[in-house]
Amino acid sequence: MNILKSALYATFLISSLINAGAVSAAILYSNGTVVEADATLRFNSDDHVVYDDFNLNVDSVITGFEWSQFDEQVDYIGTVLTLFNGLPAPSSHIATFVVVATRTSNGLAVNTVHLGGAEVFGFNYLADDLSMSLPAGRYYLGVWNDIVDPGANHTLIATTNGTPDTALGYYQQNDFRTPPLFGLTEAGPNQFESANIAFQVHGNVSPVSQPVAIDIRPFGKKNKIRPNSRGFIPVSILGSGNFDALQTIVSTVRFGPDGAKAIRWLVFAHDINRDGFSDLTLFFKTRKTGIQCGDTDATLTGSTYPGETGDTFSGTDSITTVRCP
């Protein structure tokens, strides 16, 4: 493919790949659907908190949590979500998220003995702007709602039948009105196994980086780079039978120690090494790469699209720095 055709094809690549959207979050774990059963409702506001466990079968990136409640007519302020890698205790605490969840009616309602037979109404809560990488394993999630006038109004977390591989949730009541985050490692009068809560974990499976071949300065042989140059460094991402370079999302590509971004209007698709597979050549501002005198190699990373998990890749090539002190 000649340079003119490459430039024309680059226009297609820019419009279809550079601004490709992020991979949508999936449901990594679901503890089941809501059960309209009054007896198993548990308070999770004022001086009450509810915990429940969940399993991740593979390394994952958590992007949000969704849970269901039965609430009185309350003025919702926010939610404290706490995360533990064991039975909740200070030693197992790994994260706290203070969120203002999206709260929408689900059309359900029950009359609860917890409030003298008063009617409470069903809501789904969604906190979806989180980001945390977790290895495969078992975790506990704590949910505590902050509301206006908690002594007179209440929220109760909805329950479910749960899943066979998880333990019953935990309910805790303390003598203070701050988020009760810890203290479940020993039995106590205010701590006991309760019902399973209705919640989901959102996110994506952690992508496994695929090794690929790259060619720095593909039109030269020694890959000479002058670190203080105001010019550009071309880098070709080489396609193969196992990797389609043209599926690269250009906006995700980073090059060099400082992670320089590709120049979006310099994108060329061609078979640079004439092996029958299309390659993608990008250009990076030399001073943005962070390459220093004495460096002997440089790495490029990026993601491909489409892909159910947003597949990542990386490649390294040797370099020789020149005109150094």
pLDDT single digits (tens) 198-219: 999 999 887 678 899 999 999 8
Residue position matching structure tokens 């043209």: 246
* pLDDT tens digit sequence for 243-257: 999 999 898 899 999
Residue position matching structure tokens 């150094």: 324
Q: Are 49 and 142 in contact (CB under 8 A)?
A: yes
* pLDDT tens digit sequence for 158-179: 889 888 877 888 777 655 444 4
* pLDDT tens digit sequence for 264-286: 889 999 999 999 999 999 999 99
Nearest to 105 by CA among 146, 60, 70, 154: 70
Average pLDDT over the chain reads: 83
Residue 129: pLDDT above 50? yes
Q: Are 70 and 41 in contact (CB under 8 A)?
A: yes
> At 141, is the secondary structure helix, strand, or coil?
strand
What domains lie within the chain, and their CATH numbers? 3-23+207-321 (2.60.40), 31-205 (no CATH)
Q: Are 200 and 67 in contact (CB under 8 A)?
A: yes
